[in-house]
Protein backbone atom coordinates (compact mmCIF):
# COMPACT_ATOMS: atom_id res chain seq x y z
CA UNK A 1 0.00 0.00 0.00
CA UNK A 2 1.57 3.33 -1.03
CA UNK A 3 1.05 6.60 0.88
CA UNK A 4 -1.98 7.71 -1.19
CA UNK A 5 -3.72 4.38 -0.67
CA UNK A 6 -2.93 4.36 3.02
CA UNK A 7 -4.44 7.85 3.43
CA UNK A 8 -7.51 6.92 1.43
CA UNK A 9 -8.09 3.78 3.51
CA UNK A 10 -7.69 5.74 6.76
CA UNK A 11 -10.07 8.45 5.54
CA UNK A 12 -12.75 5.87 4.68
CA UNK A 13 -12.33 3.96 7.95
CA UNK A 14 -12.63 7.03 10.18
CA UNK A 15 -15.51 8.44 8.15
CA UNK A 16 -17.55 5.26 8.55
CA UNK A 17 -16.75 5.14 12.22
CA UNK A 18 -17.60 8.72 13.20
CA UNK A 19 -20.14 9.87 10.64
CA UNK A 20 -22.44 6.96 11.40
CA UNK A 21 -25.79 6.36 9.72
CA UNK A 22 -27.41 8.20 12.66
CA UNK A 23 -26.07 11.46 11.23
CA UNK A 24 -28.69 13.64 9.44
CA UNK A 25 -28.50 12.25 5.88
CA UNK A 26 -27.88 15.56 4.12
CA UNK A 27 -25.07 16.52 6.50
CA UNK A 28 -23.52 13.09 6.02
CA UNK A 29 -23.75 13.33 2.22
CA UNK A 30 -22.24 16.82 2.28
CA UNK A 31 -19.35 15.73 4.49
CA UNK A 32 -18.71 12.81 2.16
CA UNK A 33 -18.88 15.15 -0.86
CA UNK A 34 -16.27 17.40 0.75
CA UNK A 35 -13.88 14.53 1.44
CA UNK A 36 -14.27 12.00 -1.39
CA UNK A 37 -12.74 11.95 -3.90
CA UNK A 38 -10.03 14.10 -2.35
CA UNK A 39 -7.75 16.59 -4.00
CA UNK A 40 -3.98 16.14 -4.05
CA UNK A 41 -4.00 15.51 -0.28
CA UNK A 42 -0.56 17.02 -0.15
CA UNK A 43 -0.67 17.89 3.58
CA UNK A 44 -1.40 14.36 4.83
CA UNK A 45 1.12 12.98 2.31
CA UNK A 46 3.84 15.29 3.55
CA UNK A 47 2.86 14.49 7.14
CA UNK A 48 2.94 10.76 6.51
CA UNK A 49 6.27 10.88 4.73
CA UNK A 50 7.76 12.63 7.77
CA UNK A 51 6.15 10.12 10.16
CA UNK A 52 7.51 7.21 8.09
CA UNK A 53 11.09 8.43 7.96
CA UNK A 54 10.78 9.12 11.71
CA UNK A 55 9.93 5.49 12.49
CA UNK A 56 6.10 5.25 12.26
CA UNK A 57 5.98 3.09 15.40
CA UNK A 58 2.23 3.73 16.02
CA UNK A 59 0.67 3.21 12.56
CA UNK A 60 -2.93 3.75 13.75
CA UNK A 61 -1.93 7.06 15.33
CA UNK A 62 -0.05 8.05 12.17
CA UNK A 63 -3.20 7.30 10.16
CA UNK A 64 -5.38 9.37 12.51
CA UNK A 65 -3.10 12.39 12.18
CA UNK A 66 -3.27 12.22 8.38
CA UNK A 67 -7.06 12.15 8.48
CA UNK A 68 -7.24 15.01 10.99
CA UNK A 69 -5.08 17.21 8.77
CA UNK A 70 -7.15 16.50 5.66
CA UNK A 71 -10.37 17.20 7.60
CA UNK A 72 -9.17 20.62 8.72
CA UNK A 73 -7.99 21.47 5.22
CA UNK A 74 -11.30 20.33 3.72
CA UNK A 75 -13.29 22.33 6.30
CA UNK A 76 -11.40 25.47 5.32
CA UNK A 77 -12.14 24.83 1.63
CA UNK A 78 -15.86 24.30 2.27
CA UNK A 79 -16.15 27.59 4.20
CA UNK A 80 -13.78 29.42 1.81
CA UNK A 81 -15.98 28.51 -1.18
CA UNK A 82 -19.13 29.97 0.42
CA UNK A 83 -20.84 33.01 -1.12
CA UNK A 84 -19.59 35.40 1.57
CA UNK A 85 -15.97 34.45 0.71
CA UNK A 86 -14.92 33.24 -2.74
CA UNK A 87 -18.44 32.38 -3.90
CA UNK A 88 -16.89 29.48 -5.83
CA UNK A 89 -19.41 27.18 -7.48
CA UNK A 90 -16.82 24.53 -8.29
CA UNK A 91 -14.05 22.77 -6.41
CA UNK A 92 -11.86 20.00 -7.84
CA UNK A 93 -13.96 20.13 -11.00
CA UNK A 94 -17.21 19.35 -9.18
CA UNK A 95 -19.85 21.56 -7.53
CA UNK A 96 -18.62 23.05 -4.25
CA UNK A 97 -20.51 21.93 -1.13
CA UNK A 98 -22.77 24.99 -0.91
CA UNK A 99 -23.55 24.71 -4.62
CA UNK A 100 -24.35 20.99 -4.40
CA UNK A 101 -26.31 21.21 -1.14
CA UNK A 102 -27.04 24.65 0.30
CA UNK A 103 -25.39 27.44 2.24
CA UNK A 104 -26.66 26.30 5.66
CA UNK A 105 -25.49 22.75 4.98
CA UNK A 106 -22.06 24.00 3.85
CA UNK A 107 -21.71 26.06 7.02
CA UNK A 108 -22.56 23.05 9.20
CA UNK A 109 -20.38 20.73 7.13
CA UNK A 110 -17.32 22.87 7.78
CA UNK A 111 -18.10 22.99 11.50
CA UNK A 112 -18.62 19.23 11.67
CA UNK A 113 -15.36 18.57 9.82
CA UNK A 114 -13.40 20.74 12.26
CA UNK A 115 -14.84 18.87 15.24
CA UNK A 116 -14.30 15.54 13.46
CA UNK A 117 -10.59 16.27 13.13
CA UNK A 118 -10.37 16.17 16.93
CA UNK A 119 -12.74 13.21 17.17
CA UNK A 120 -10.43 11.18 14.93
CA UNK A 121 -7.39 11.85 17.10
CA UNK A 122 -9.36 11.40 20.33
CA UNK A 123 -10.70 8.04 19.15
CA UNK A 124 -7.11 6.75 19.16
CA UNK A 125 -6.79 7.59 22.85
CA UNK A 126 -9.62 5.24 23.78
CA UNK A 127 -9.13 2.40 21.30
CA UNK A 128 -6.06 0.77 22.78
CA UNK A 129 -3.90 0.83 25.85
CA UNK A 130 -1.45 3.63 25.16
CA UNK A 131 1.61 4.44 27.22
CA UNK A 132 1.73 7.84 28.92
CA UNK A 133 4.25 8.93 26.31
CA UNK A 134 1.92 7.93 23.47
CA UNK A 135 -1.01 9.72 25.11
CA UNK A 136 1.12 12.85 25.16
CA UNK A 137 1.77 12.47 21.45
CA UNK A 138 -1.98 12.76 20.83
CA UNK A 139 -2.25 15.87 23.00
CA UNK A 140 0.75 17.45 21.26
CA UNK A 141 -0.62 16.59 17.83
CA UNK A 142 -3.93 18.25 18.72
CA UNK A 143 -2.10 21.33 20.03
CA UNK A 144 -0.02 21.68 16.88
CA UNK A 145 -3.07 21.11 14.68
CA UNK A 146 -5.02 23.78 16.62
CA UNK A 147 -2.17 26.25 16.18
CA UNK A 148 -2.22 25.54 12.46
CA UNK A 149 -5.94 26.32 12.26
CA UNK A 150 -7.04 28.73 14.99
CA UNK A 151 -6.10 32.14 16.37
CA UNK A 152 -3.67 33.82 16.38
CA UNK A 153 -1.57 32.32 13.54
CA UNK A 154 -3.56 29.49 11.90
CA UNK A 155 -5.42 29.31 8.61
CA UNK A 156 -8.56 30.91 10.09
CA UNK A 157 -6.43 33.90 11.07
CA UNK A 158 -4.94 33.84 7.57
CA UNK A 159 -8.39 34.19 6.04
CA UNK A 160 -9.24 36.86 8.59
CA UNK A 161 -6.31 38.97 7.36
CA UNK A 162 -8.24 39.21 4.08
CA UNK A 163 -10.86 41.20 6.00
CA UNK A 164 -8.34 43.82 7.18
CA UNK A 165 -7.63 46.98 5.24
CA UNK A 166 -3.90 46.88 6.07
CA UNK A 167 -2.17 43.54 5.64
CA UNK A 168 1.42 42.36 5.89
CA UNK A 169 1.63 40.01 2.86
CA UNK A 170 4.06 37.58 4.46
CA UNK A 171 2.21 37.40 7.77
CA UNK A 172 -0.99 36.77 5.82
CA UNK A 173 0.48 34.03 3.64
CA UNK A 174 2.34 32.41 6.51
CA UNK A 175 -0.97 32.03 8.34
CA UNK A 176 -3.24 31.27 5.39
CA UNK A 177 -1.24 28.37 3.99
CA UNK A 178 2.06 27.99 5.80
CA UNK A 179 0.54 27.29 9.22
CA UNK A 180 -1.03 24.00 8.19
CA UNK A 181 2.11 22.90 6.30
CA UNK A 182 4.22 23.51 9.37
CA UNK A 183 1.63 21.66 11.44
CA UNK A 184 1.84 18.76 8.97
CA UNK A 185 5.56 18.16 9.30
CA UNK A 186 5.52 18.80 13.06
CA UNK A 187 2.65 16.36 13.56
CA UNK A 188 4.43 13.76 11.44
CA UNK A 189 7.47 13.83 13.70
CA UNK A 190 5.36 13.87 16.89
CA UNK A 191 3.21 10.92 15.71
CA UNK A 192 6.38 8.84 15.56
CA UNK A 193 7.70 10.11 18.88
CA UNK A 194 10.42 12.25 17.24
CA UNK A 195 11.45 15.85 17.87
CA UNK A 196 9.49 18.12 15.48
CA UNK A 197 11.86 21.11 15.59
CA UNK A 198 14.36 19.92 12.89
CA UNK A 199 11.43 19.86 10.44
CA UNK A 200 10.52 23.55 10.79
CA UNK A 201 12.49 24.70 7.71
CA UNK A 202 10.75 22.09 5.52
CA UNK A 203 7.26 23.02 6.71
CA UNK A 204 7.68 26.78 6.56
CA UNK A 205 9.42 26.80 3.17
CA UNK A 206 6.88 24.44 1.62
CA UNK A 207 3.99 26.44 3.07
CA UNK A 208 5.38 29.66 1.61
CA UNK A 209 6.10 27.93 -1.70
CA UNK A 210 2.59 26.52 -1.86
CA UNK A 211 1.00 29.92 -1.29
CA UNK A 212 3.15 31.55 -3.95
CA UNK A 213 2.33 28.68 -6.31
CA UNK A 214 -1.35 29.38 -5.64
CA UNK A 215 -0.82 33.04 -6.54
CA UNK A 216 1.08 32.09 -9.71
CA UNK A 217 -1.61 29.60 -10.70
CA UNK A 218 -4.27 32.22 -10.02
CA UNK A 219 -2.70 34.33 -12.78
CA UNK A 220 -1.49 31.59 -15.11
CA UNK A 221 -3.93 28.78 -14.45
CA UNK A 222 -6.67 27.55 -16.67
CA UNK A 223 -9.96 26.53 -15.18
CA UNK A 224 -9.49 22.99 -16.51
CA UNK A 225 -6.11 22.61 -14.86
CA UNK A 226 -6.90 23.45 -11.26
CA UNK A 227 -10.62 22.78 -11.19
CA UNK A 228 -11.66 26.09 -9.65
CA UNK A 229 -12.16 29.57 -11.05
CA UNK A 230 -8.95 31.56 -11.49
CA UNK A 231 -8.27 35.27 -11.22
CA UNK A 232 -9.86 35.18 -7.76
CA UNK A 233 -7.13 37.15 -5.99
CA UNK A 234 -7.48 40.13 -8.31
CA UNK A 235 -11.28 39.93 -8.27
CA UNK A 236 -11.42 39.85 -4.47
CA UNK A 237 -8.63 42.39 -4.02
CA UNK A 238 -6.61 39.91 -2.01
CA UNK A 239 -2.92 40.40 -1.37
CA UNK A 240 -0.90 38.23 -3.77
CA UNK A 241 2.81 37.52 -4.16
CA UNK A 242 2.36 37.47 -7.95
CA UNK A 243 1.26 41.09 -7.72
CA UNK A 244 3.83 42.11 -5.12
CA UNK A 245 6.86 40.48 -6.79
CA UNK A 246 5.67 40.35 -10.36
CA UNK A 247 4.97 36.98 -11.93
CA UNK A 248 8.59 36.23 -12.80
CA UNK A 249 9.78 37.35 -9.38
CA UNK A 250 7.17 35.09 -7.80
CA UNK A 251 8.35 32.12 -9.85
CA UNK A 252 11.98 32.70 -8.84
CA UNK A 253 10.92 32.94 -5.20
CA UNK A 254 8.91 29.74 -5.60
CA UNK A 255 11.94 27.85 -6.90
CA UNK A 256 14.14 29.26 -4.12
CA UNK A 257 11.65 28.10 -1.46
CA UNK A 258 11.50 24.60 -2.95
CA UNK A 259 15.30 24.42 -2.69
CA UNK A 260 15.10 25.55 0.95
CA UNK A 261 12.52 22.87 1.70
CA UNK A 262 14.47 20.09 -0.02
CA UNK A 263 17.76 21.10 1.60
CA UNK A 264 16.03 21.45 4.96
CA UNK A 265 15.13 17.75 5.19
CA UNK A 266 17.09 16.47 8.20
CA UNK A 267 19.66 13.72 7.57
CA UNK A 268 17.80 10.44 7.96
CA UNK A 269 17.32 7.13 6.12
CA UNK A 270 14.53 8.29 3.78
CA UNK A 271 16.05 11.71 3.08
CA UNK A 272 16.44 11.25 -0.69
CA UNK A 273 12.89 9.88 -1.05
CA UNK A 274 11.47 12.91 0.73
CA UNK A 275 13.61 15.32 -1.30
CA UNK A 276 12.43 13.84 -4.59
CA UNK A 277 8.84 13.94 -3.33
CA UNK A 278 9.26 17.70 -2.75
CA UNK A 279 10.68 18.28 -6.26
CA UNK A 280 7.90 16.20 -7.80
CA UNK A 281 5.26 18.19 -5.91
CA UNK A 282 6.90 21.45 -7.03
CA UNK A 283 6.63 20.36 -10.66
CA UNK A 284 2.97 19.42 -10.13
CA UNK A 285 2.27 22.82 -8.55
CA UNK A 286 3.97 24.98 -11.17
CA UNK A 287 4.93 22.92 -14.25
CA UNK A 288 7.90 24.97 -15.47
CA UNK A 289 7.39 24.12 -19.16
CA UNK A 290 3.82 25.34 -19.12
CA UNK A 291 4.81 28.37 -17.07
CA UNK A 292 7.44 29.40 -19.66
CA UNK A 293 4.94 28.93 -22.49
CA UNK A 294 2.46 31.16 -20.69
CA UNK A 295 5.01 33.90 -20.09
CA UNK A 296 6.03 33.96 -23.74
CA UNK A 297 2.41 34.04 -24.85
CA UNK A 298 1.54 36.81 -22.39
CA UNK A 299 4.45 38.92 -23.64
CA UNK A 300 3.35 38.41 -27.24
CA UNK A 301 -0.31 39.15 -26.63
CA UNK A 302 0.21 41.84 -24.00
CA UNK A 303 -2.70 40.40 -21.99
CA UNK A 304 -3.70 41.43 -18.51
CA UNK A 305 -1.36 38.77 -17.15
CA UNK A 306 1.57 40.49 -18.81
CA UNK A 307 0.94 43.53 -16.62
CA UNK A 308 2.05 41.55 -13.59
CA UNK A 309 5.14 39.99 -15.21
Size of site (CB under 8 A) for its own copies: 56
Determine, following the binding rule CB under 8 A, whether residue 20 of this chain makes contact with its own copies. Answer: yes
Give least dist CB 309 to its own copies, A. Answer: 31
Among 82, 192, 220, 298, binds its own copies (CB under 8 A): 82
Give least dist CB 110 to its own copies, A. Answer: 7
Cβ nearer to its own copies, comparing 122 with 234: 122
Determine, following the binding rule CB under 8 A, whether residue 85 of this chain makes contact with its own copies. Answer: yes
Determine, following the binding rule CB under 8 A, whether residue 257 of this chain makes contact with its own copies. Answer: no
User: DSSP string spanning the chain?
Assistant: --HHHHHHHHHHHHHHHHS-TTS-HHHHHHHHHHHSS----HHHHHHHHHHHHTT---HHHHHHHHHHHHHHHHHHHHHHTSTTTT--SEETTEE-HHHHS-HHHHHHHHHHHHHHHHHHHHHHHHHS---HHHHHHHHHHHHHHHHHHSTTTSHHHHHHHTTSSS--HHHHHIIIIIHHHHHHHHHHHHHTT--SGGGHHHHHHHHHHHHHHHHHHHHH--HHHHSS-S-HHHHTT---HHHHH-HHHHHHHHHHHHHHHHHHSPSSTTHHHHHHHHHHHHHHHS-HHHHHHHHHHHHHHT-GGGGG-
Compute the radius of gyration of the chain from its Cα atoms. 19
Determine, following the binding rule CB under 8 A, whether residue 84 of this chain makes contact with its own copies. Answer: yes
Determine, following the binding rule CB under 8 A, whether residue 170 of this chain makes contact with its own copies. Answer: no
Give least dist CB 290 to its own copies, A. Answer: 33
Cβ nearer to its own copies, comparing 161 with 199: 161
Determine, following the binding rule CB under 8 A, whether residue 297 of this chain makes contact with its own copies. Answer: no
Taking residues 124 to 163 in sequence order and writing x for each that binds its own copies by CB under 8 A, - otherwise, the string is -xx-----x--xx-xx--xx--x--xxxxxx-xx-xxxxx
Taking residues 91 to 110 in sequence order and writing x for each that binds its own copies by CB under 8 A, - otherwise, the string is -----------xxxx-xx-x
* Interacting span for its own copies (CB under 8 A) from 78-86, 198-206, 262-270, 284-292: 78-86
Cβ nearer to its own copies, comparing 65 with 110: 110
Among 25, 129, 224, 300, binds its own copies (CB under 8 A): 25
Angstrom distance (rounded) from CA 229 to CA 261: 29
Find the angle CA(286)-CA(36)-CA(4) to the nearest 5 degrees.
Answer: 60
Nearest to 106 by CA among 71, 148, 77: 77
Among 13, 92, 118, 266, binds its own copies (CB under 8 A): 118
CB 3 within 8 A of CB 42: no
Among 3, 4, 13, 26, binds its own copies (CB under 8 A): 26
Determine, following the binding rule CB under 8 A, whether residue 60 of this chain makes contact with its own copies. Answer: no
Binding site for its own copies (CB under 8 A): 18-28, 31, 75, 79, 82, 84-85, 102-105, 107-108, 110-112, 114-116, 118-119, 122, 125-126, 132, 135-136, 138-139, 142-143, 146, 149-154, 156-157, 159-164
Amino acid sequence: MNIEERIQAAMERHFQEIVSLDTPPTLRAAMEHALFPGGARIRPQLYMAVAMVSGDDCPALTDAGAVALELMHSASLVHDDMPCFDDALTRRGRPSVHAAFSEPVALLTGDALIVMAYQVLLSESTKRQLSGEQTHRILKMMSVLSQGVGAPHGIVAGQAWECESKVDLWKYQRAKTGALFTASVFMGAIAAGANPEPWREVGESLGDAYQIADDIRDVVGHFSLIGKPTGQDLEHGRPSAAQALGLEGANLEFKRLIECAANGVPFCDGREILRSMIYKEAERLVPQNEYQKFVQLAKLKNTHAASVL
